[in-house]
Chain A
Amino acid sequence: MSFELQASVRARNFDMALSLAEGETVAILGPNGAGKSTLLGVIAGLLRPDAGSARIGHKDLFKLDGRTHFWSPPHLRGTALLAQEALLFPHLNALDNVAFGPRSGGASKAAARETAQHWLAEVDALPLADRKPSQLSGGQAQRVAVARALAAQPELLLLDEPMSALDIHAAPLLRRVLKRVLRDRKAIIVTHDILDAYMLADRVIVVEKGRIAEEGSTRQVLERPRSHFAAGLAGLNLVSGTIASEGITTPDGRVFAGQHDPDWSPVPGQAGVAAFPPSSVSVFLGDVHGSPRNSFPVTITDLEPYGDQIRVRAGDGHSAQALSADITPAASADLGLVPGMEVRFVVKSALVSVYPA
């Protein structure tokens, strides 16, 4: 049973279409305000789009167009939602929280508790069954919330940044639990964290400004990002332009020379991007001798420690594309770099990947 959705919300400048195959987990990545939570709200039935449709298998969730106005309420959708905070019902203990879904589905009290125990065990939280939510740590509460969502037997599980409110020690355990329970399950996980996408998702969708910016397998998106957001997550500089014989040409006419896959023959004029890691960028003062290619003037905006390196962030004065260079602290001190300084970035073309956008 697949899931398909197409929806637009004018007030939020939201317009997306996506689908999930049976058993597929998709990670939604994107900056704040990109429309990730709107997407989950529309699917769960908490937010009504202006137009669109969605269905799981043959079951319509909603169908809103000029003629039909079908809108299924949240409790009939089978789309359990797990939010940033566990939101366990404070007046019920962990077991009864997990039993809530089966009870609402019509199960007897005893049967619901049995189901609840099963799912508490699945998330390694059976010993917490009798505790009230106020007696649980953030990580424990979130695991119980996962069990509660799964106990409702959702056809599609929606996870809205489930790890973001947890402290750094609690997140890995929950991530392991999620990896186990999301296997072969239809789920959409909204996340900020590239690690979640790596570990939990089969596919990644990057959203920006209410639109899908790119999608593909997690590996593909991270190795060959086409959106600035994905490039940022992958830790790559990304320059977009049009394919030229040697690489790409930026809108302001600068040429980025680079390598491309041997099995791809570039078509000049096609939209393309050039990606390169900050470590491939060198910083120079004044004019550079030798190869003039992949050398361009920038203005330093920020300097910050990055591992044992210094990350130099710079805005390209012409195309306003933000680029980064990683250099050693010693080099930075030698050059006397400070924000606002005009320097020259030089990128080795052997380390630049060029591919179609």
Chain B
Amino acid sequence: MIKRSGYHGIPRWIYGVAAVGGLLMVLPLAAMLLRVNWPQFIPLITSESSLAALGLSLRTSAASTVLCVVLGVPLALVLARSEFPGQRLLRSFVLLPLVLPPVVGGLALLYTFGRQGLLGKSLELAGIQIAFSTSAVVLAQTFVALPFLVVSLEGALRSAGSRYEAVAATLGARPTTVLRRVTLPLVLPGLASGAVLSFARSLGEFGATLTFAGSLEGITRTLPLEIYLQREADADAAVALSLVLVAVAVAVVGLSYGRRRSSSPVEVGP
């Protein structure tokens, strides 16, 4: 939308290019909508295998989001607030899954947690088998989604600064109390949007799961894997399920942006 008043300094031709960019995002989705077999839509997405895949996707994504929060908050704190040798290297490695092809991530996980992997042998001796289990799906999703939470939270931590924490400490609060009562409430919006992004990324995870976890209905075959498989046999089912995935993703992202708009930004002095 163009503001009615005020100078915005955007050359007019920019709108043309922006429109092309927007179309590139919107057109494929619209094209997919056109291909949906609407009369069969409900039966297609409520088939046993579809519901199993959707349910598994929601459960594993929720679990990996929790795991991302549990592991990502300390990681973001360490990266944003402390200084130690190798910190930049650690940050690069944490961000790596953002740019790594998911299949590569899957292979890396395989060589770590697989039966012949680095930790897998010891885990198997301890009676823990990760490969071909739902835990493998959660692990793969956490691997690819963790950077989203860390990046988002680290940014929030940096822009919030640590002055409130300093004041809290001089008031007698122990570091753990400061974290619980000051730091986390202050960066809650950043944490929430990071968690939402992690959930969305987990929901869309495909490559690492396929490589690392396998594909079995109800155990490891998440929605993206089900779509990939159905594409071979029943294109209508694949399109219908894709639409469900798009709808869930839109709902999740919309929810996050809605929340961020409505919540008042943290006031940080100059």
Contact = CB atoms under 8 A, between A and B. Distances in A.
Contact, chains A and B (beta carbon distance below 8 A): yes
A166 B178 CA distance: 27
A75 B173 contact: yes
B172 A81 contact: no
Interface string B46-90: 000000000000000000000000000000000000000000000
B163 interface: yes
Interface string B259-270: 000001011010
A40 to B, nearest CB: 10
Interface string B240-270: 0000000000000000000000001011010
Contact of B172 (A104, A133, A134): A104
A303 to B, nearest CB: 33
Given A83-B163, A85-B269, A91 B185 contact: yes
B170 A100 contact: no
A158 B178 CA distance: 20
Contact of A100 (B166, B171, B175, B267): B171
Contacts of A90: 186, 266-267
Q: How many interface residues does chain B have, given as a range?
A: 20 to 34
A83 B168 CA distance: 12
B186 A104 contact: no
Contacts of A44: 166, 170
A134 B170 contact: no
Contact of A45 (B164, B169, B182, B269): B169
B158 interface: no
Contacts of A354: none
Interface in B167-191: 167-175, 177-178, 181-182, 185-186, 188
Contacts of B269: 85, 87
A100 B164 contact: no
A83 B269 CA distance: 12
B173 A100 contact: yes
Contacts of B186: 89-91
A78 B173 CA distance: 11
A80 interface: yes
A158 B188 CA distance: 30
Interface string A68-88: 000001111111110101010
B181 to A, nearest CB: 7
B185 A81 contact: no
A89 B182 contact: yes
Contact of A104 (B166, B171, B188): B171
A200 interface: no
B172 A101 contact: yes
B167 to A, nearest CB: 5
A74 B166 contact: yes
Contact of B267 (A77, A101, A133): A133
A148 interface: yes
A340 interface: no
Nearest to A152: B171
Contacts of A134: 264, 267
Contacts of A101: 171-173
Nearest to A165: B269
A148 B168 CA distance: 10
Interface string A89-125: 1110000000011011100000000000000000000
B182 to A, nearest CB: 6
Contacts of B166: 44, 46, 74, 81
29 contacts: A44-B166, A44-B170, A45-B169, A45-B170, A46-B166, A46-B169, A73-B169, A73-B175, A75-B171, A75-B172, A75-B174, A75-B178, A76-B172, A77-B170, A89-B164, A89-B168, A89-B185, A90-B267, A91-B186, A100-B168, A100-B173, A101-B171, A101-B172, A101-B173, A104-B173, A105-B172, A134-B264, A152-B171, A158-B170
